[in-house]
Structure 1
Amino acid sequence: MASDLSDLLAPELIVLGLQAASKKALFSQLGALVAPTLGVDARVVVDGLTAREKEGSTGFGHGVAIPHARIPGLPRTVLAVVRLAHPLDFGALDDAPVDVVAAMFSPPQAGAQHLKALARVARRLRDRALVAKLRGAGSPDAIYALLCDHGVRDAA
């Protein structure tokens, strides 16, 4: 199903209560978080996120951001979801600080696949009721269940 993100979301890459004082600090922590799972150097992740963010903010409103980067050596697109302990200024279009971050990483050659995955993630996170549930989720498993259709049925 198009709204199911289980093909992208890595359960070990869901973190609640992450402390970050700036976008730079957030990107450093994301690099450290995802590098072991992705099998890449954390610096490559940080540099990719930073370069993309310089093109324009990935904060798309209502407290949500989707920073993303193309990372050499990845076999597939992977999504990490972080709920920040304290909202962070992301330069979003609506000026709302961000507390829900869905970071997406794709192989450089992904092309249309990267854009389609990004659109799917954005579609899900545009749903304010879902984002409210993500903010209230008590565990990484609960967030996984909310973002993966089969998990929602199992959790009901």
Structure 2
Amino acid sequence: MDLGEFLGKDAVVIDLKASSKKQLLQAMSERAAELTNLSAREIFDTILQREKLGSTGVGNGIAIPHGKFNNFDKIFGIFARLETPIAFDSLDEKDVDIAFLLLAPESAGADHLKALSRIARVLRDTDRLAALRSASSEDAIYELLTNPAHSNAA
């Protein structure tokens, strides 16, 4: 599964301003609502409920908040690079500056897990992560995330 299957060019945000985990999740929920048929409140509430089970801050400055939704028919992602790193209750206690929000249908099952795994694999690549942190445009970030030439083996 390639990230381009569920990440559109319009779903990449750089220099997102947020001073807290809650603000980050709200901003990403609002952007996702603009691009899907879900409401920002529904997205935010679902993501927040998932965070209560355990932080999606996976370490190395990366968070992968995610949730499943009724009446939603596709896997959908949003990538954000924050202007300033924020506390996120990450496993390694490091501040987060890269977030990838993943939304999936309630019925997605294994596809949801495959998408999460693919995101983690792509963001675990230290060279690519450094390039994502220094890229100067949304287009450059989209290319880094979706171009097979930059991909690890699936």
Q: Deviations over 1:90-149 (max 9, x none)?
A: 111111100000110001110111011111111111111111100011111101100112
3-state SS, counterpart of residue 107 of structure 2: helix
Separation of aligned partners in 2, 1:142 and 1:152? 12
Contact 2:6 2:76 in 1 (8 A): yes
TM-score norm. by structure 1 comes to: 0.92
Q: Percent identity?
A: 40
Contact 1:144/1:151 (8 A) holds in 2 = no
2:28 — aligned with what?
Answer: 30
Distance 1:74 1:92, change over 3 A: same
Where structure 2 has 5 or more consecutive residues not aligned to the other structure, the ranges are: none
SS of 1:91's equivalent in the other structure is coil
The question of 1:105 aligning with 2:103 is answered: yes
Answer whether contact 2:128 2:150 (CA < 8 A) is retained.
Answer: no
Opposite residue 29 of structure 1, the aligned amino acid is: A
Deviations 1:11-66, CA, capped at 9 Å, x for gaps: 11110011111111111111111102111111000001100111101011110110
2:109 corresponds to 1:85: no
TM-score by length of structure 2 reads 0.93
For 2:17, which of 12, 16, 19 is the aligned residue?
19
2:43 aligns with 45
Aligned-pair distance for 1:71? Answer: 2.0
Give the letter aligned to residue 48 of structure 1. T
Distance 1:65 1:138 in 2: 21
Aligned match of 2:52: 54
For the structure 1 residues 28 and 47, does the alpha-carbon distance in structure 2 shift closer, same or farther, using more than 3 Å as the test? Answer: same
Unaligned runs of at least 5 residues, structure 1: none
Q: 2:149, 2:128 → 1: CA distance? A: 14
Question: Structure 1 residue 152: deviation in Å?
Answer: 5.4
Task: Indicate the RMSD between aligned Cα atoms, in angstroms.
Answer: 1.5
Secondary structure of the corresponding residue to residue 94 of structure 1: coil
